[in-house]
Structure 1
Amino acid sequence: MSDASNYYGPVVNMHGGRENIGINYGTAGGPARDTELGAAVEELTRLLGELRRHLSPEQERTVDEALPELVPDRTALRRNGLVLASVAQIAAAVGAVGQPVADAVGRLLGLLAQ
């Protein structure tokens, strides 16, 4: 057995230079995609506000915890995939009234997959 550790993920080696910032994952999609992402996050946030009156107190608490995580940033949304899963689960649990939220989560996931 070896004592070596395996690391799976990006590796950045920078030698010299000035004002190096590392890897920027947030703008790889370009301005048009970022605008779409922002619109999708805004729509989901609006729909969650409309859905609140149909939620149990526990579901409402979960939505309250999810809202700060819903930001138009690809890296943050990908990292917080459980937040979107929780929102989708709540939308499914409330039935037909939650369908617009489930659809909005689907659109957002589609944008993140691009």
Structure 2
Amino acid sequence: MSTNNYYGDNVNMHGGSGNVGMIKNQVAPAAPASPELEAAVSELLALLRELRPQIPAASAQALDDSLPALTADAATPVQERHRALMAVAGIAATIGAVGAPVIEAVNRILALLSA
């Protein structure tokens, strides 16, 4: 009777061709968001709650569609978050001075993300 104890990866290859190795498919855990980014996102969401009643229904729907990607969570795809920030900034730009704080908040988040 034989006993095999394996710890970690175990690969047995018997013949074949084109063997290239083991694919791990492991992803390192995402680093937690910085406190500055979390604060900036919270500020933006608060500004958007104030802004929403002042914009047309179509713009409000576009804003609502962008909200799920407006997070400090590192798991949010970069392109999706960027698209959402640009959509929010575009909506804010169309309503003039009332939207200026939203544009500033978006720019602050973009600066934090690129740092």
TM-score (norm 1): 0.72
Q: Is this contact kept in 2: 1:70–1:77, CA < 8 A? A: no
Q: Note the residue ranges of structure 1 that are not aligned, 5 or more in a row.
A: 1-12, 15-19
Q: Is this contact kept in 2: 1:71–1:77, CA < 8 A? A: no
1:71 matched to which residue of 2? 71
Alpha-carbon distance change, 113 to 42 in structure 1, aligned in 2, over 3 angstroms: same
Between Structure 1 and Structure 2, the one with more helix by share is: 1
Alpha-carbon distance change, 36 to 21 in structure 1, aligned in 2, over 3 angstroms: farther
Equivalent residue pairs, number: 92
Offset, 1:77? 5.6
1:54 matched to which residue of 2? 54
1:23 matched to which residue of 2? 28
Q: Is this contact kept in 2: 1:40–1:108, CA < 8 A? A: yes
Percent of matched pairs sharing the same residue: 40
Give every structure 1 segment of 4 or more consecutive aligned residues whose post-TM-superposition deviation is greater than 6 Å: none
Deviations 1:12-60, CA, capped at 9 Å, x for gaps: x54xxxxx84134x31xxx6x6211111111110000011122000010
TM-score (norm 2): 0.71
Are 1:111 and 2:109 an aligned pair? no
Offset, 1:79? 2.6
The letter for the 2-side match of 1:82 is: R
